[in-house]
Amino acid sequence: METNYLVIMALLIGCLATTIPVFMALFFTGMVGLVWIAGIDPQIVIEVLYRSMDKFALIVVLFFVLCGNIMTTGSIVSKLIKTANCMVGFLPGGLAMAGILACGFFGAISGSTVATVVAIGGFMIPALLENNYDEKFSIGVMTTAPILGVIIPPSIAMILYAMVTNDPLEALFLTGFVPGFLIMFFMSLYAYFFCKRRDAMTMPKPSLQEVVATLRESLWALMLPVLIFGGIYSGYFTANEAAVVACFYAFIVEIFIHRDLKLREIKGVVISSAITSSTLLVIVAGASVFGEYLTFEQIPGQIANAVVENIQSPWVFLLSVNLLLLIIGMFMDIISATLILTPIFLPLLSRFGIDTMHFGLLMTLNLGIGYCTPPLGVSLYISGAVADRDLIYVSKAVMPFLLIQIAILMLLTFWPDLVLFLPHWVYPPS
Amino acid sequence: MKKLIYYIHRVFSFVEDWSLFATVMVALSVAIANVALRKLTNDVNLYWSDEVVRKTIFFTTYVGCIAAIRNRSLIRIDALPQLFPFLKKPLTFFSHIGVLVFSGFMIKLGYSLAEMVYYDEYAKTASLQIPEWYFYAVLPIMGVMMFVRTLIIMVEDWFGIKLCEPPIEDEVA
């Protein structure tokens, strides 16, 4: 039996390493396991592929992706940056702080790190350099701050995690606010001291009229997160409904109020969103086939037994998992890793008494950090292309910020209440 | 030949783009209408809207996959080609072979499953009573379109040529 497991594992790693699309790698592995090893009719495997997409909850992914794309195509990014700049731009390191804050704002609309790097980083890195900020510092801050895109809700990785664990999505979303705030605060603090020490240029403090004018201009954009979270946490909308309403609102605002989305651009935005969401959702289909094999052979349970025999402390377990996820995050994208690894870790969480929502946040944060960890983090390459710098330069630039994020990760790992107090306060456990 | 491939690309792109656009807009309209009715009237609700949205998600996911092949945007782990750039060409070729094999599975197994559901007169959706085989048929159709698309981009990648751009008339002549 162990030989079979080794074959399956080698096949999965082999397919992934040879750049076969992730969902097909999962499909092939699940197919080999179910059909050739377990002797199941191959048509059942195709049926699994069909049924896995027949779920209403998946609507959230499509519509949050669409909402982010509408806003990126329109003028939201420049409005968010302008607002953030107005709020903190006059402090030492203010423009960098504005970039971090804008990533936070954008993260509250979009659910993806890459989208945030492209939308905010592509705009802010040149802006920081034009304002004589240190180049390495500028690249570092705008490569790592977009992690807020997956930490601050709505987060696509969290949506898919909730689908696997059956955690209430509304509560899981709440786990992201405190970590998101901590990341913003400590990165901004570093930016403040770094720039103050170097006497970096600061902007004049805006007058009250300027603040009011900026807020008025950005009001419709800033209302979107209010609509999403206000709707969800007042109990007026479910997360699914919030995604639909957010999309509709974004269309109305960008077409009729901002007038920055032309009618002829709508088709392109919708198609590109459908393609982006399909590249994410199809991994759910592949993971369902692979998950069917794992369940059939009771592999997660066996792994859980083996781990529990060797590790007794939940803290040691969490520390080991953090290390493992940080390494995996360097090689694998967050969606694939979440869908492949969650079913394997899930039985272990109950054995160690770890809250699934706490673990979900840690997993998302770990894999998010992986996006900007050398040598293979996607964000490094995007920022490198924007700033026209090589990988080694960008890798050195991100180091101080990575250390801050890893320190926050450790804090959140060993202090679960910091993550859980908000969801437990809003949704008291029965 | 180049002209034929270009026209196949145009037809496929037309089908992919318009079907994706139409289905997403239908899903958004139905979903927003349902939310509005439920919140504003308290008792009126489009009982079939969940079904429409679920089928739309299914459709857009698999049709979107074909378009993702066109855009080369399917998610894959490209660690090896980044570390060893000389492996890029053989690995890309191998990856395309993987996609062709997957398409083969979809054509063969998807077709037999769709055929089986076709003969089941009770296999209809719960709310709108649409025959389920309409949706199952997406799988083999996806298989065929994926197969053709992959062949085109295999040739493009291997020979470094662009087959999906309008052919220059002199060249065609």
Q: Find, in chain B, the residue whose alpha carbon is nearest to that of A333.
A: B77
> Is the separation of the CB atoms in A351 and A304 below 8 Å?
yes
| DSSP secondary structure letter of residue A93 | T
pLDDT band at A176 (very low <50, low <70, confident <90, very high): very high
CB contact under 8 Å between B24 and A66, yes or no, is yes
Average pLDDT, chain A: 87
Q: Would you state the pLDDT for residue B20?
A: 95
Angle at alpha carbon of residue A84, lines to A87 and A421, rounded to 5°: 90
Strand partners, B131: B124
> Is the separation of the CB atoms in A271 and B20 below 8 Å?
yes
Residues 6+ apart with CB under 8 A from A174: A153, A233, A422, A423, A426, A427
Contacts of B20 in chain A (CB under 8 A): 270-271, 274-275
Q: Find, in chain B, the residue whose alpha carbon is nearest to that of A332.
A: B77
Enter the tokens of residue A40: 């199941």
Residues 6+ apart with CB under 8 A from B11: none
Give the whole-angstrom CA distance, residue A387 versus residue A391: 11
CB contact under 8 Å between B61 and A31, yes or no, is no
CB contact under 8 Å between A21 and B109, yes or no, is no
Terminal-residue alpha carbon distance, chain A: 41
Please, what's the b/e burial string for A110-130 (b: 16 or more CB within 10 A of its CB; e: otherwise)?
Answer: bbbbbbbbbbbbebbbebbee
Contacts of B54 in chain A (CB under 8 A): 54-56
Enter the tokens of residue B151: 């062949």
Q: Would you state the pLDDT for residue A111?
A: 65
Strand partners, B124: B131
Q: Is A174 exposed, middle or buried (0-12, 13-18, 19+ CB in 10 A)?
A: buried
Q: Find, in chain A, the residue whose alpha carbon is nearest to that of B117.
A: A47
Residue A402: pLDDT over 90: yes
pLDDT over 70, % of chain A: 99
Q: Counting every residue, how long is chain A? A: 430
Q: Is the peptide bond before A206 cis (omega within 30 degrees of 0)?
A: no
Average pLDDT, chain B: 88
Contacts of B73 in chain A (CB under 8 A): 275-276, 279
Smallest CA–CA separation between A112 and chain B, in Å?
A: 14
- The string of pLDDT tens digits covering residues B19-43 is 999 999 999 999 999 989 888 887 7
Smallest CA–CA separation between A149 and chain B, in Å?
A: 19
CB contact under 8 Å between A244 and B28, yes or no, is yes
- The string of pLDDT tens digits covering residues A243-262 is 899 899 989 988 888 888 88
Enter the tokens of residue A410: 């450790």
Give the whole-angstrom CA distance, residue A282 versus residue B92: 20
Enter the tokens of residue B59: 């459709």
- Token pair 């950005």: residue: A218
pLDDT band at A79 (very low <50, low <70, confident <90, very high): confident
The mean per-residue pLDDT over the stretch B100-110 comes to 95
Best CA proximity match to A379, nearest among A137, A119, A77, A102 = A119
Residue A275: pLDDT over 60: yes
Cross-chain CB nearest to B60 (options A25, A45, A278)? A278
Give the whole-angstrom CA distance, residue A179 versus residue A422: 11
Q: Would you state the pLDDT for residue B171?
A: 47
Give the whole-angstrom CA distance, residue A257 versus residue A250: 10
CB contact under 8 Å between A53 and B62, yes or no, is yes
Residue A430: pLDDT over 50: yes
Contacts of B76 in chain A (CB under 8 A): 16, 19-22
Q: Would you state the pLDDT for residue B173?
A: 40
Enter the tokens of residue A247: 């999309």
Enter the tokens of residue B55: 């089928």
> Is the separation of the CB atoms in A13 and A290 below 8 Å?
no
Angle at alpha carbon of residue A423, lines to A420 and A284, rounded to 5°: 90
Give the whole-angstrom CA distance, residue A339 versus residue A75: 33
Instruction: Please name the amino acid found at residue A131.
Output: N
CB contact under 8 Å between A336 and B98, yes or no, is no
Cross-chain CB nearest to A19 (options B35, B62, B81)? B81
Residue B167: pLDDT over 80: no
CB contact under 8 Å between B57 and A42, yes or no, is no
- The string of pLDDT tens digits covering residues B133-156 is 999 999 999 999 999 999 999 988
Instruction: Please name the amino acid found at residue A217.
Output: E
Instruction: Please name the amino acid found at residue A71.
Output: M
What's the ipTM? 0.92
Smallest CA–CA separation between A49 and chain B, in Å?
A: 9
Q: Which of A50, A51, A376 is the best substitution to test chain B (most B C-beta atoms within 10 A)?
A: A50
Smallest CA–CA separation between A88 and chain B, in Å?
A: 37
CB contact under 8 Å between A54 and B58, yes or no, is yes
Smallest CA–CA separation between A71 and chain B, in Å?
A: 16
Enter the tokens of residue A274: 């459908």
Residue A123: pLDDT over 80: no
